[in-house]
Amino acid sequence: MEEATEEEVEELTVLGRVTEGVRKAGENPGLRNLGALALFFLASTLTYSCYKVYRKATSGRAKRKRTVNKNVEVVERLKNFFPNERDSLNKGVLKGISLKTGYSQSEIVRKYLRYKLTEEAFTLDFVADMLALKKASGLTSGDIKGILLETGERMFKKYGTLMTNLAGLTQSGMERKIDGAGKFAKLMYLADLDELVDKEDGSEVQLKLKETFGATDEDYEKVRITALGADEVDVSSLNQMIGAVESSEVESTESSQSEEQ
């Protein structure tokens, strides 16, 4: 809202200057000639129109729209290669996406990783796709480390601290925390892959992720992904968290009913 207000104030300021310029031009004896005055008015109108076009193109809404469009371009171009055509993915494809969107190789990989974390099941194909993307982009272990850490920070802003005891939360709150725990567990799994990131970098990523999400070693063990399936089902202990909450709710309901009787 503040940004929109500033834009409106600036637009009114420019309009006022243009109007004042036209008024003074009319008072100027040298410009009282009708043709000269009309020419000056047209020039002022053109200046104001150009300003409005510039403001529209550089507004917050326009910038967000361009970012969304570029993100869609990244996803649409890359998902055609996964999983069946991943061997065809090469540096030329990534360079083409970079030229069209203005994103660096790291930004492209980070944005596609976030898309996959949100929209796709965490399977063997998921991991194979990320390894192929790393190879095609030519990114180093240090680059991947930065991507995992930045992704973790963004996820934390959305989901908050890791919670393994979900009792007392609303249904929507429980779902959000389980989703956040899933993202955390997946990032931790990726950080543990030597093919994706060197062991030293991976250990540093895992330590930083636990600090970011406020997770203890015990918390991590509760949500840790120990194996991946080949189908579209996440193999992790997250379902146990759901089951534990549901079981707790059932016991609480039965206890209340017993007391009423």
- pLDDT surpassing 50 at residue 135: yes
pLDDT digits (tens, 9 = 90+) for 18-42: 555 555 655 555 545 555 555 555 6
Say if residue 239 is in the same domain as residue 198. yes
Judgement on whether residues 67 and 89 belong to the same structural domain of the protein: yes
Q: What is the dihedral of CA 62, 63, 68, 73, to 10 degrees?
A: 100
Is residue 57 scored above 80 in pLDDT? no
Residues 185 and 148 in one domain: yes
> Chain-wide mean pLDDT for the chain?
79
DSSP at 226? -
Tally helices (H) and strands (E) across the chain.
11, 0
Query: pLDDT above 90 covers what percent of the chain?
Result: 52
* 180 & 78 share domain: no
Burial of 55 (0-12, 13-18, 19+ CB in 10 A): middle
| Residue 151 pLDDT exceeds 60 | yes
SS3 assignment, position 195: coil
User: Does the structure show a pLDDT above 60 at 223?
Assistant: yes
Phi-psi region of 33 (alpha: psi -120 to 50; beta: other; left: phi over 0): beta
Choose the final residue of a domain: 58, 82, 99: 58
Same domain, 170 and 217: yes
Do 113 and 196 lie in a common domain?
Answer: no
Confidence of residue 51 (pLDDT cuts 50, 70, 90): low
The number of domains in the chain is 3
In terms of residue numbers, what domain contains 246? 140-261
**SS3 at position 158:** helix
| 16 & 31 share domain | yes
For residues 147 and 247, membership in a common domain is answered with yes
Q: Are residues 151 and 260 in the same domain?
A: yes
Same domain (yes/no): 133, 146: no
pLDDT single digits (tens) 189-219: 999 999 999 999 999 999 999 999 999 999 9
DSSP conformational letter for 138: T
pLDDT band, residue 67 (cuts 50/70/90)? confident
Whether residues 81 and 166 share a domain: the answer is no
Amino acid symbol at 63: K
Examine the domain organization and report whether 179 and 145 are in the same domain. yes
